[in-house]
Structure 1
Amino acid sequence: MARFKPRIAVRALILHQDRLLLVNAYPDAHLGLWCAPGGGCEAGQSLPENLAREVMEETGLTVAVGAPVLVNEFHDPDTGFHQIDLFFRCTIAGGEIDDAWQDPEGVVTDRRFFSRAELAGIRFKPDSLPEAAWGDGAALYDSLEAILK
C-alpha cells in the first residue's frame, strides 16, 4: 500500500441563525455524508485565503475567516490517504445560499443549514463537529479516524 504525505485542508464552521452550514461530502451526495464546506490548500495562499476560496467555490458565499477551533485527521487504511482538516469559525460577509449555484469542481451538489437538533438525524464528519461549532471556542483536536466509504 502506498503512503501519501498528509493532505492539508481547511473547513468553515458557519453558524447563521444558530444553524450550521454543511455540504455533501462526496459527489452526488454519495453515502449521504455531510461536512463543513472547504477543501485542499494550495501552496502560496494563507489558510484563510484558501478557506475563503473554497467556501466561495462550494457555496457562493463570501466569508470572514475567524479563529481556528478544530484540528481533525482522517485516513483510509486501504489506500494510505491521510488528510488533516483545520476548522475555522467563519461569518457570512456576502451572498446567500442559492439553488442555482454550481460548484465549479462538481463535488458539492447540496448545501444546507442544520440546527443542532437536526444533526442527530444525518450522517456527518467529524464526530466532534457539533462541539466545535457550538462550543466555547477552545481549540479541539479530534484524533485520527478511518475514512467512511
Structure 2
Amino acid sequence: MRPARPRLAVRAAILHRDKLLVVNAYPGKKSDLWCLPGGGVEPAQSLPQNLQREVTEETGLTIAVGPPILINEFHDPGGRFHQVELHFRATLDGPDTITLADPEGVVNRFRWVTRDQLARLRHKPDGLTNAVWGDQFAHYDPLEAIIM
C-alpha cells in the first residue's frame, strides 16, 4: 500500500515556571502517550497562526510563538499515515488557566511537567526533552513508527 501524502502539523513547547505543558491526544484515554499541544496545518495561515489556533482550540490558552526547536516525523509502516511535525518554542500570552475544549474531542488530559517528570512519562517524540531544555534549534528527530 502506497503511503498518502505526509500530513503537516505544528506543536508548541510551552515552558511556564520551568514546567512544560503536555497533553494526551488519544480519544477515550486509550493511551498513556503524551505529546505537546498542537495539530494539523490549515492552508492560508502561517505556521505560527496555525499553532496559535490549535493551542487555543485544545487548551483555551493564548501563546506567542517563538523559533522552531524540533522537526519530527512518524508513520504507520503498514498503513498510509505519515506525519511531519514542526515543534516551536512558545510562551503564554495571557492567563495560564487551561480549559480542555478540543472541538474534535481528541485532547482529554493535560499536565505541566518538569524535565525529570517528563523523563518518567511515556512521550513522543524521543528527542523532545533535549529540544525543549537544550539550546539546539531545529533538531531533526529521525522517522519513527507510530505507537499508541
Gaps of 5+ in 2: none
Residue 119 in structure 1 maps to residue 118 in structure 2: yes
Determine the structure 2 residue equivalent to 1:62. 62
Shift of 1:83: 0.3
Determine the structure 2 residue equivalent to 1:102. 101
Determine the structure 1 residue equivalent to 2:73. 73
TM-score by length of 1: 0.94
Gaps of 5+ in 1: none
Count of residues paired in the alignment: 148
Contact 1:60/1:95 (8 A) holds in 2 = no
- String of CA shifts for 1:3-59, please: whole Å, max 9, x gaps: 200000000000111111000031133211100000000011100000000000111
Determine the structure 2 residue equivalent to 1:33. 33
Whole-Å separation in 2 of the counterparts to 1:101 and 1:143: 31
Query: Runs in 1 of length 4+ with deviation above 6 angstroms?
Result: none
Shift of 1:97: 3.1
Shift of 1:73: 0.6
1:36-55 residue pairs with structure 2 within 5 A?
36-55=36-55
Whole-Å separation in 2 of the counterparts to 1:86 and 1:139: 8
Contact 1:60/1:96 (8 A) holds in 2 = no
RMSD: 1.2
